[in-house]
Structure 1
């Protein structure tokens, strides 16, 4: 290679944000994927029991939560676009709206948890509910973590930070888009 030439960019150089955040995102997707695979594997042993257990959930609320998270993802993506154009105040507001929608998601999810628990249903009731509480609870923790990350990004609104924060937030969205049909709609 001559002195004036630079090395070609690798695929890793093209990733927005930070490589370690992508390692975390991929590892989290693998964990959720394993959980969903286990859910589906156990479901095969008792499809009627899983179908009957699912009737105790609130698919309409879960559908609303899907719209809420997708909308929050829109605001996160909008914030990234605004920061790329150096429009900081509206970017911060977009991140704030994403966080608020995360709060709405959690409020709806905790309402559902309270209702299901009020029916006397726990992780011990049926394997369906073991997976339901574990997968959706683990996801809810990721929503909380994402809200904290986006809050920190509002405080330090720089392109790299927004790329990292929104990448994590979109992973949270993606996981819910996978959980929703498998847990709430699969008959």
Structure 2
């Protein structure tokens, strides 16, 4: 899992560097394009993912103490907040499409849609992983070894970390 996380972080680092360099070459275009984004949606998504990661951390602590019921509750709450992220992001995409903005509008929006859609897919994969460890936790499968649980939680925290970098890079700075 650590190799996979490192590989994913490397891919996103390339995206982030490419975005930052392209922004320096097209400052006016990026400033005007960022003004068309919905920063409240970005903030809601940031809060949803940070809080989701908090619940996953609480779930990890609970499973280490063999508190299965608490673990499952925390993981479900984490997944519900991830679902909030997905719904808000889809609303935001719809908002942009309704305004006539898509991946071909300009360089900013090409990069915006590529990076955020790639992250969106990672959120979906993270939710699948969280669902899997939730089901295993319900079956009390982590009595002896919680390393699989830790790996799933680590992936989820990586997804959150990426958004914490992506949000200010794309929406604020």
Same fold, judged at TM 0.5 (above): yes
Match of 1:169 in 2: 156
Q: Cα distance, 1:105 vs. partner?
A: 0.4
How big is the alpha-carbon RMSD for the aligned residues of Structure 1 and Structure 2? 0.7
Alignment partner of 2:106 out of 120, 126, 129: 126
SS at match of 2:49: helix
Q: Which 5+ residue runs of structure 1 have no aligned equivalent? A: 1-20
1:1-187 equivalences under 5 Å are 21-157=1-137, 158=142, 159-186=146-173
Deviation at 1:89, TM superposition (A): 1.0
**How many equivalent residue pairs?**
166
User: TM-score, normalised to structure 2's length?
Assistant: 0.94
> Which whole-Å CA distance do the structure 2 matches of 1:162 and 1:100 have between them?
18
Taking structure 1 as the reference length, the TM-score comes to: 0.87
Cα separation, 2, equivalents of 1:178 and 1:110:
20
**Rg larger in structure:** 1
Deviation at 1:161, TM superposition (A): 2.3
Superposed CA deviations along residues 33-89 of structure 1, whole A, max 9, x for unmatched, are: 100100111111110010000111011110111011000000000000001011011
Partners of 1:183 and 1:109 in 2: CA distance: 14
Aligned-residue offset at 1:149: 0.3
Query: SS of 1:73's equivalent?
Result: helix
Q: Which runs of 4+ in 1 moved over 4 A?
A: none
